[in-house]
Amino acid sequence: MSLLVTGTIGIDSVYTPRSGHREQVLGGSGTYFSAAASFYAPVRLVAVVGEDFPDEFRQILRGFEGIDLRGLETRAGSKTFRWGGKYLDDMDHRETLFTELNVLGEDPPSVPDEYQDSQILFLANSHPGVQLGMLDQVGAPMLSVADTMDLWIESERGLLDDLLRRVDGLVLNFDEAEQLTGHANTVAAARHILEMGPKFCVVKKGEHGCIMAHGDGICALPAYPAEHVVDPTGAGDSFAGGMMGYLASRLASGELSDPMDFDELRHALAHGTIMASFNIESFGLDRLASLTRVEIADRFDEYGRMMRLG
Amino acid sequence: MSLLVTGTIGIDSVYTPRSGHREQVLGGSGTYFSAAASFYAPVRLVAVVGEDFPDEFRQILRGFEGIDLRGLETRAGSKTFRWGGKYLDDMDHRETLFTELNVLGEDPPSVPDEYQDSQILFLANSHPGVQLGMLDQVGAPMLSVADTMDLWIESERGLLDDLLRRVDGLVLNFDEAEQLTGHANTVAAARHILEMGPKFCVVKKGEHGCIMAHGDGICALPAYPAEHVVDPTGAGDSFAGGMMGYLASRLASGELSDPMDFDELRHALAHGTIMASFNIESFGLDRLASLTRVEIADRFDEYGRMMRLG
């Protein structure tokens, strides 16, 4: 049950108030998503980097056995996307120090022919026009989910509305949900988004967990209670990776036939929560690179016990 | 297994951005706590009002069968505490419009002789010197838990530190936990508070649920996902009422011998969450006054199913 993600690969510089800083670390939404999802199911990564992309970073990606890199384009004459950010004292908010779009400002990568039969599609945050183009290149996925951000809600609302009518699920941050709907109440915002097209909407609240609105109900889950947050970069993308990877693994096992089943999605959110909790324990992909499936299973069990009632 | 609460009774005026306003409504920490706890166990309320306290409000309190009002002092020549507040657009933050301490600025009420054998004690937020005085008046409770607020953290730190060395548990808001410990991370703040004396610390995060630090672990629970919040006043006190009422009922049943058992406290937090979720559905005590045990059990089951994994 093939999972395809379209997202960014970047070179990040991250500054934090208490855990120091790291310059030129492998980052990007496609990177974090793929690394997290690869623990659950093979993942096809469609992304583009410049010819300056360090071989060392390519080796890090190759280190995740489940990541299929045939869709990673290395564009001659172009430079890789770079981003720098500084976290504020609460580690939940950040300032962007610089953004060098580079190759992301050029034509998007193409979905390779051999990926066009992908059954599960995740469109990580990018221009909604690009996301629509990606959606067009994949035949008829069983499940398509998109992420978005404040910039597109403000500047590309028409295209974003088109996208929302075409995807099965939307994942976004709580402040973006408010911006998109005008509802300060997160539950009300998530429900409102169901009227815009998606059959489910996941609102990410960082250290406060997540909420999902779905035709069959509402679900709220806490974040895994983390005391030592080293670097929150990629938390939302590794959350989405764990979530989508879990659904892909369930579909592949034959135990699940409807990837939009409310109860399965609840479990998918829990797996996303666990993957995000590991990701924030290090800069870049360091923690995910050393992670084992046994550690994931142990933390998932601990998380479930923490919330089990009766 | 007698539960005693010391707290305020007041006359509130509440303004909200979307659900209108209500003037002169029955409020106060002792009121909300007692009403919520009374669904679980009998609760002895120690509080003081002025001779202007409306008979109509006394009838509302009498309407909750489990509330024992022998400890409610009506002080001749004094006026009842009054508070006015206005909620901001997110319904999680508020501005105080006025505070008329009135009888709360005089001598505190006494714990009646017949209450001095109380086994479970909740000291709702007040001056830590008053809380210490209340603690002295109750022989040797099995469990004592206190709430506090920013004002005392700032102005009465010495007395508050004394109190923390003497109570078993502390309940406070997330911003107060940061103020008390200097930790912006809620988990780190809650753990730090365990070093100040309490054996467990519950940090309330409003719409984002709660976190508990305890010698046996950390627990995070989401709020019940509420779309229509009419008035958040008393949410924290009804949370504490549900929590402490549940523990009192478990001790009374003989099924629980250690009220500081981690797993029992987790369940107590869930009951607190449910009681707070009902409370915010109306102004004042309206919703709790019409609430049934069947509704509580149904919502508790729904909440548990929402988080059940595996």
Domain CATH for B160: 3.40.1190.20
Tens of pLDDT, residue by residue over A103-142, are 999 999 999 999 999 999 999 999 999 999 999 999 889 9
CB contact under 8 A, B225 and A270: no
CA distance A125 to A84: 17
Tens of pLDDT, residue by residue over A183-233, are: 999 999 999 999 999 999 999 999 999 999 999 999 999 999 999 899 999
The rounded percent of chain A whose pLDDT value lies above 90 is 95
Query: Residue A15 — pLDDT band, cuts 50, 70, 90?
Result: very high
State chain B's mean pLDDT as an integer.
96
Q: What contacts B106, CB < 8 A, 6 or more positions away?
A: B48, B75, B78
> Which pLDDT value is given to residue B217?
96
Write out chain B in H/E/C secondary structure: CCEEEECCCEEEEEECCCCCEEEEEEECHHHHHHHHHCCCCCEEEEEEEECCCCHHHHHHHHCCCCEECCCEEEECCCCCEEEEEEECCCCCCEEEEEEECHHHHCCCCCCCHHHCCCCEEEECCCCHHHHHHHHHHCCCCCEEEEECCHHHHHHCHHHHHHHHHHCCEEEEEHHHHHHHHCCCCHHHHHHHHHCCCCCEEEEECHHHCEEEEECCEEEEECCCCCCCCCCCCCHHHHHHHHHHHHHHHHHHHCCCCCCCCHHHHHHHHHHHHHHHHHHCCCCCCHHHHHCCHHHHHHHHHHHHHHHCCC
CA dist A196 and A199 (Å) reads: 9
> Are the Cβ atoms of A229 and B185 closer than 8 angstroms?
yes
Q: Which pLDDT does position A145 carry in this prediction?
A: 98
* Cα nearest neighbour of B206 on chain A: A208
Which residue type sits at A144?
S
CB atoms within 10 A of CB A133: 17
Which residues in chain A are contacts of B229 at CB distance < 8 A? 185
Q: Tokens 């120690």 identify what position? A: B46
Residue B156: which domain range? 3-307
Q: What is the DSSP letter of A66?
A: T
Contact flag A266-B306 (C-beta cutoff 8 Å): yes
Contact call for residues A124 and A29 (beta carbons, < 8 A): yes
**B246 in reach of chain A (CB within 8 A):** no
Q: Do B227 and A304 touch (CB under 8 A)?
A: no
pLDDT tens-digit map of B96-113: 999 999 999 999 999 999
The answer to whether the Cβ–Cβ distance between B187 and A267 falls below 8 Å is: no
Q: B16 touching A, CB under 8 A?
A: no
Tens of pLDDT, residue by residue over A263-281, are: 999 999 999 999 999 999 9
Q: Average per-residue pLDDT in chain A?
A: 96
On whether the CB atoms of residues A165 and B204 are closer than 8 A, the answer is no
Q: What's the pLDDT at A228? A: 87
Q: Are A240 and A148 in contact (CB under 8 A)?
A: no
Chain B neighbours among A 101-140 (CB < 8 Å)? none
Residues above pLDDT 90, as percent of chain B: 95
In terms of CA atoms, which chain B residue is nearest residue A230? B185
**B142 pLDDT above the threshold of 90:** yes
Domain count, chain A: 1
Using the Cβ of B297 and the Cβ atoms of chain A, whether some distance falls under 8 Å is answered with no
| Contact across the interface for B222 and A221, Cβ inside 8 Å | yes
Instruction: Identify the pLDDT of residue B92.
Output: 80
Burial class from Cβ neighbours inside 10 Å (0-12, 13-18, 19+) for residue B272 reads buried
Contact between residue B10 and residue B79 where contact means Cβ atoms under 8 Å apart: no
| Residues B44-49, mean pLDDT to the nearest whole number | 98
Identity (one letter) of the amino acid at A18? R
User: Residue B229 corresponds to which tokens in the numbers above?
Assistant: 């919040």
For the record, the structure tokens of B296 come out as 């509580």
A68 Cα to chain B: minimum distance (Å):
29
Instruction: Give the minimum alpha-carbon distance from B84 to chain A in angstroms, rounded to a whole number.
Output: 23
| Cα–Cα dist B260/B247, whole Å | 9
Chain B residue with the nearest C-alpha to that of A88: B184
Residue A120's nearest CA partner among A196, A44, A215, A197 is A44
How far is the C-alpha of B203 from the C-alpha of B187, rounded, in Å? 9
Compute the nearest-CA separation of A189 from chain B (Å).
9
Strand order in the sheet with A21-27: A21-27, A10-15, A81-87, A94-100
Instruction: Compute the nearest-CA separation of B36 from chain A (Å).
Output: 20
Take residue A89 and report the two structure tokens written for it: 């004292």
Asked if residues B204 and B173 have their Cβ atoms less than 8 Å apart, the reply is yes
Cα–Cα distance, B184 to A90 (Å, whole number)? 5
* Mean pLDDT across B19-36: 97
Q: Closest partner residue to A307 among B218, B221, B300, by Cβ? A: B221
User: Residue A89 and residue B219: Cβ atoms within 8 Å?
Assistant: no
Give the pLDDT band (50/70/90) at residue B70.
very high
Query: CA-to-CA distance for A197 and A195, rounded, in angstroms?
Result: 6
Distance, in Å, from the CA atom of A39 to the CA atom of A59, rounded to the nearest integer, reads 17
ipTM of the complex: 0.93
